[in-house]
Amino acid sequence: MADRVAGRINWSTLSPLFWVLAAVYLAHLSWRWLGLPRPWWVQHYLDDLLCLPLVLTVTIFILRYFYGPQLRLSWYHVAFTVVYFSLAFEVFFPRFMPRYTSDWVDAALYAIGGVIFYRFLNK
């Protein structure tokens, strides 16, 4: 335990790319809340693309608080998360909740978001 510093907030986990993606997501939420027209691809696919980079960055931020700043997620952690989100939001939820619709493009966007996280945010 002495070789790592747990219990301290490591703000460097939240890279400039994370803040850009978070700002894009918040702008999209504001755009939707104001009822402004949006292109169809923004309306249907932007949230799916931004989901995993944002969720996984916040997850690793919290994990680094408890386990130290050197923690990284392996490729199979990211792949598991992609499969988990794809199955949950594209297979199971659409069966039981009418709010959700199944779309293979969403699953592909989760995978692209996972790659973005693994390549650029998992430092």
Mean pLDDT of the region 70-96 = 97
- Three-state DSSP class for 103? coil
Q: Specify the pLDDT at position 4.
A: 55
Q: Where are the domains of the chain?
A: 11-121
Q: Specify the pLDDT at position 26.
A: 98
**How far is the C-alpha of 109 from the C-alpha of 23, rounded, in Å?**
19
**How far is the C-alpha of 112 from the C-alpha of 123, rounded, in Å?**
17
Q: Specify the pLDDT at position 6.
A: 64
Query: What are the b/e assignments for 62-83, b being 16+ CB within 10 Å?
Result: eebbeebeebebeeebbeebbe
Q: Does residue 3 have a pLDDT over 60?
A: no
Q: Specify the pLDDT at position 92.
A: 96
Q: Tell me the per-residue pLDDT of 29-74, one tens digit each, with 9 for 90 and over.
A: 999 999 999 999 999 999 999 999 999 999 999 999 999 889 999 9
Mean pLDDT of the region 14-36 = 96
This prediction has a pTM of 0.90
Token look-up 């989100």 returns 85
Q: Does residue 77 have a pLDDT over 50?
A: yes
